[in-house]
Structure 1
Amino acid sequence: MHTEELQDLPAQRTKDLLLDRRLTVLETRFDTTVTMLPNKADLSELKAELKADIHGEAAQLTKWMAATVITMVIGFGGMILTLARAHGA
């Protein structure tokens, strides 16, 4: 070994130790993140829940729309009858 290589050896070991530490930290973060990601079963369960929620909301909206249309028909019918009686009288 040359004298330059001997002098750089402690600095290289320090760099290696720091690199190993950083790699360990990154691996730990990666392993933690991967376990938190949803799998196919989780996604299919979420999809089923969303479909059920959407169908429930659509049914609720349909009821409100039907009630609104019926109210408007009765209201306009009453106005037409009132105007017809006022003109006829």
Structure 2
Amino acid sequence: MMSQHLDIHLECRDIYVSHRLGKYTPNKDRPVIVKFVRRQTKIEVMNRAKLLKGTGVYINEVLTKTNAEVLSSLRLKEPGRIEKAC
């Protein structure tokens, strides 16, 4: 999926760990958490995430509750200045 939609070639050695979230339910997709070996790989994936628009697949960065609240409040106050969390 990554190579097809994002034009990124990933191998098993590029991913440190990955797992699904939530309980299995038939005919329902579950989120997947992926931790990459190199930060640069993550940055490449995040930069190309906009290419998934309209596919029903999305990529979000996992933030702590506090950081998510700070980012959310900044987006409300100055929506043009915030693109993503780093």
TM-score calculated relative to the size of structure 2: 0.18
* Greater share of residues in strand: 2
Rg larger in structure? 1
* Greater share of residues in helix: 1
Could you say which structure has the greater relative contact order, defined with CA pairs below 8 angstroms and 6 or more residues apart?
2
